[in-house]
Amino acid sequence: MPEQVGFSPDLSGYSSLHRSLNTCIALLKRRLQFLIALVSILAATARAQSVSLPTTHEIYDFLKRLEARGILHEYRDAFKPLSRMAIAKQLASVQAKLDLLTTYERDTYEYLKSEFSYELGSLAGDPDPTDLRWRLLSADLTDGIINFDLNARLQWFRSGSENVRLRAQGARFYGYAFKDVGFSFNFVDYREAGNAVDFGKANTPEPGIVHTRSGPEFLEYNTTEAQLSWQVGEFTLSLEKLQNVWGYGARGNVILSRKSPSPPQFKLRVPIASWLDFVYVLADLHSNAIDSARSYRTYSSNLIDFYRPVYRSKYMAGHGLEFSIIDGLDLSLGETVIYSDKNIQLLYLLPVMFFKSGEHYNRDTDNIQWYGSLDVNLIRNTNLYLSVLIDEISTDDLLNPGRARNQLGYTIGGRIYDFPVRNVEVALEYTRLNPWVYTHKYPAATFTNNGYDMGHWIGQNADLLYAAIVLTPVRQVRLEGFFEKYRKGGLKDIAFQYQTPSQPFLYGPVHREQTFGFSGRYQFARDAFLFGSLRLIDRSDEANPELNDKSRTEFRVGVEYGVW
């Protein structure tokens, strides 16, 4: 037999590989432990819950009054809606200053406290806060609560010899759960009938609509707003369909307003410091621009030629900062971008990205707006404000009327409280939008959603002067006398937007309206109001002389419950 030679393989390489694998596994374990610890810390710090309060709620006017009177401090409201918890914090800060309130303010404060009793209890450290006000249905959830109620409105409107009847009904609920989750839902279904139905809701502060059904003398539509939010430390993340109101204005907002239907959106809010807030929004807009290449006939029927329209994609990203420069002086700055005909852009998903630079990166196919607002409460009982939106501006030719293309809009105004006597307010406001504000050469890149400007309802090439005297003798009653002067110029071919010199402000044909009016509201139960108004209108229209009317009378009366 031949002699067998023993074989001993060299395992040094395998040992080295084994040590490397153990090192990697240990590293992965440490990172996993770190992530678990981080998530645990975030979950532990997520003690607040967030639900946004509709921007039409009465408490916003009340808080603005207290800020102007020097009772509220570090109250910033350039980016509405605010959360119920943030509003409750402001109410809690008033508790130590009750002796500074007037009788009207004290009654209103005590009344609104019960609306936010759950949030106030949570802020006070109550492990089981309760809601003290009456609800149709209220139930406890895991680490939270749900409140359910109904909406309803009946209204009769008469303009000249024509009239419209409106009825609306719906349901709403909101609540909190699981320590860091907030949610809300609000649905209202409307029907208008009569010979003065306004199908387009144009040239009016009334919110824009999407028709569900209509006929010669009736119109049906509905609105839905919803929100699901998650609180992570100081960060509030939410998926929502809500109205954004950015900037200031009594009769509209030049930055973002309630005019267009609310878009579905992702929102991030964070108070970076006691004097600084940050907000970011990514909204999915409806372009109203049909993509002919993707639209098609279905050929599903031999009797009817069905056609499936496909609309061009359209998005808005926006972000902003609001600073408290000193006590009583707040400044907000930011930008928005409208982009279309492409998917969501990672570039605009960066909340801290400079969007104007992003537009350059995309070879200037997008539509950028810059904006700012100033909220001044340095004079006791006086609130002054300014909001500016810059759609396009030529800095090199800013003062050269032959070459300047300054497409901007602004609102400037103020309100004096308890003047000339207690419980009387005096308001004055002027808004101007230069030609071509909100428009763009690409139809899918205009500053619109579902066919309505997202800013002020007067639109481009228009201005509005508003003055009012408001009396609130008791908490339940609000009476207002007002005057408005509205002018609306023409709209030429979009090519003129990109030519110099720019078209002059209020180039024709011009539509003019001058209105004197009176309105009143009586709150007879919580969330329930009787309301009415009378308007005397002097109207002229150069393009449509048949609209001229020197003495148009409009009357409105109604009752509503829960429709904020």
pLDDT tens for each residue of the chain, 564 residues long = 444 444 444 544 445 545 544 554 554 455 445 444 444 444 444 347 899 999 999 999 999 999 999 999 999 999 999 999 999 999 999 999 999 999 999 999 999 999 999 999 999 998 889 888 889 999 999 999 999 999 999 999 999 899 999 999 999 999 999 999 999 999 999 999 999 999 999 999 999 999 999 999 999 999 999 999 999 999 999 999 999 999 999 999 999 999 999 999 999 999 999 999 999 999 999 999 999 999 999 999 999 999 999 999 999 999 999 999 999 999 999 999 999 999 999 999 999 999 999 999 998 889 999 999 999 999 999 999 999 999 987 766 666 666 667 899 999 999 999 999 999 999 999 999 999 999 999 999 999 999 999 999 999 999 999 999 999 999 999 999 999 999 999 999 999 998 888 889 999 999 999 999 999 999 999 999 999 999 999 999 999 999 899 989 999 999 999 988
Q: How far is residue 240's CA from residue 243's CA, in Å, rounded to a whole number?
A: 9
Quote the pTM value. 0.89
Which residues are 282's β-sheet partners? 266, 317
Question: Which stretches within 280-390 are classed as H helix?
Answer: 346-349, 355-361
Closest to 195 measured CA to CA, from 171, 162, 170, 220: 162
Contact 560, 531 (CB under 8 A): yes
Looking at this protein, which amino acid is placed at residue 480? E
Q: Is the peptide bond before 501 cis (omega within 30 degrees of 0)?
A: yes
Tens digits of per-residue pLDDT, 449-507? 999 999 999 999 999 999 999 999 999 999 999 999 999 999 999 999 988 888 899 99
Q: How far apart are CA 68 and CA 378, in angstroms?
A: 8
Written as one letter, the residue type at 272 is I
Instruction: Reduce the secondary structure of 220-283 to three states and give it as a string.
Output: EEEEEEEEEEEEECCEEEEEEECCCEECCCCCCCCCECCCCCCCEEEEEEEEEECCEEEEEEEE
Give just the sign of the alpha carbon dihedral 168, 170, 175, 181. Answer: negative
Which two tokens mark 333?
């700055």
- Taking the C-alpha atoms of residue 202 and residue 20, their distance in angstroms, rounded to an integer, is 70
